[in-house]
Amino acid sequence: MQNIKKLALAFGVASTLSLGLAPVANAAETLKIGFVGVTSGAKAGWGISNVRCMQTRAKWVNDEGGIKIGDTTYNIEIVTWDTQDNTTRAKEGMEKMVQEGIHYVIGPNTDPTAAAVRPVAERDGVMYFPYAFPKELYTKPASNAVLGMIANYQSGPAIYKYLKENKGVKSIAFLAANESDALSQREGGIQAAKALGLKVLAQDAYQSDTRDFAPAVTPIVKLKPDLLVLSGVAGGTAPLIIRAARELGYTGLMSAETAQDAMQLKDGAGDLANGFISVGGASTPEIRSAMMEEFIRRYTEDHGQYDDESNTKVYAMEYILETLKANPKAINDVEEFKKTMDTLSVPNPYMKGDRKLEYVGLTSFGQKRQVGIPMVVTEYQDGEFQTLFVTNVD
């Protein structure tokens, strides 16, 4: 795999009415947007979803001729870098973005790699949209990172509260990979559970390269918790744990605060995954706009199958472009971008009704450093995700 992949793509609009753009035949200048994230290894699915969303949106709007920001029409060139979930490569990737003159980057996808790129981003004026949860990335004095998804400390309390009130959950156990991001998410979950008055029966860990999970889950199964939370679990690992727990006789509920893939659950755990609860993508059939339906159709056409996580990943690019449209000075000045984040409010093209694209995060971070998307909690059943409930951050 090449370290750098470039796609020279013209970004326009799917619906000139919904985004307020007019097709332009000849885009004169180029705006580069980068991706620095994991697209290989066990966590590849997280970054691949990002890249495919960017590619699908790019291919779609390319036919419309370009995007007008201020008085200038731009082609957009996408530059991608695979971190391989390695902090050194992540830093190298962000430095490459700076060398390319890029000010706006989507990713990274994990806590350590998101932390690794922060010094480069702040030193060289890059806004980046990580899918990582450490609050220090988004609270002052930090100001260059924008959380691209719902954090576990936002979704966890909502899930536990729902299950306590609707499923009678009173006890809970946590299982996480022995790595920093998963352990951090486990700690956040424990705090949320205790705040709700749930009894924490276990807070165990396993090595990240584990494939046989019977030894890890056996002690937890014996404790019979009402809910087993798989903290920070990767899509390829979740089915293995689910299968091990069910085959050992666990009959309680299971959940995760990380996005999962229905096909991986089906292939890895089959019917044993039925009832598994996780944070879904920021869309459901009930709230999708016609533009979102068209995005899903094009994504499926381009990549063979659609994954629920892309319902969330579709948003980062849209937020970048809409913020630049609202303040063209931000093209080469991230301080102007930051100013605009506080007041941005434009129609959400991916949802029905009058929902807006607005930055959020005041409650969690004390400043608007998170994309505003619906918090959709799903339950896996027979090969697909079904909506359990929908709520919002802030």
Q: Count the helix, strand and coil residues of the chain and give each as a percent rounded to the nearest 5.
A: 40, 25, 35
Q: Considering its fold, how many domains does the chain have in total?
A: 2
CB 140 within 8 A of CB 366: yes
296 with 345, same domain?
Answer: yes
Residue 48 lies in a domain: yes
277 with 304, same domain?
Answer: no
* Helix or strand holding residue 69 (H, E): strand 67-69
Q: What is the pLDDT of residues 79-125, one digit of tens each?
A: 999 999 999 999 999 999 999 999 999 999 999 999 999 999 999 99
Measured distance CA(82)–CA(77) in Å, rounded? 17
Measured distance CA(2)–CA(91) in Å, rounded? 17
Task: State the amino acid at position 115 in one-letter form.
Answer: A
Please list, in sequence order, all residues whose beta carbon lies within 8 angstroms of the beta carbon of residue 343, skipping any fewer than 6 positions away.
none
CB 359 within 8 A of CB 146: yes
117 with 160, same domain?
Answer: no
183 with 171, same domain?
Answer: yes
Q: What is the pTM of this model?
A: 0.82
Full residue range of the structural domain in which residue 209 is found? 152-281+379-391
383 with 239, same domain?
Answer: yes
Residue 336 lies in a domain: yes
Residue 17 lies in a domain: no
Q: pLDDT below 70 — which residues of the chain?
A: 1-28
**Whole-angstrom Cα Rg for the chain:** 21
Measured distance CA(278)–CA(260) in Å, rounded? 7
Measured distance CA(231)–CA(233) in Å, rounded? 5
- What is the domain-level CATH number for residue 312? 3.40.50.2300
Q: Which residue has the tokens 């990274």?
A: 108
Residue 368 lies in a domain: no
Q: Which residue has the tokens 């869309």?
A: 283
> Which pLDDT does position 73 carry in this prediction?
86
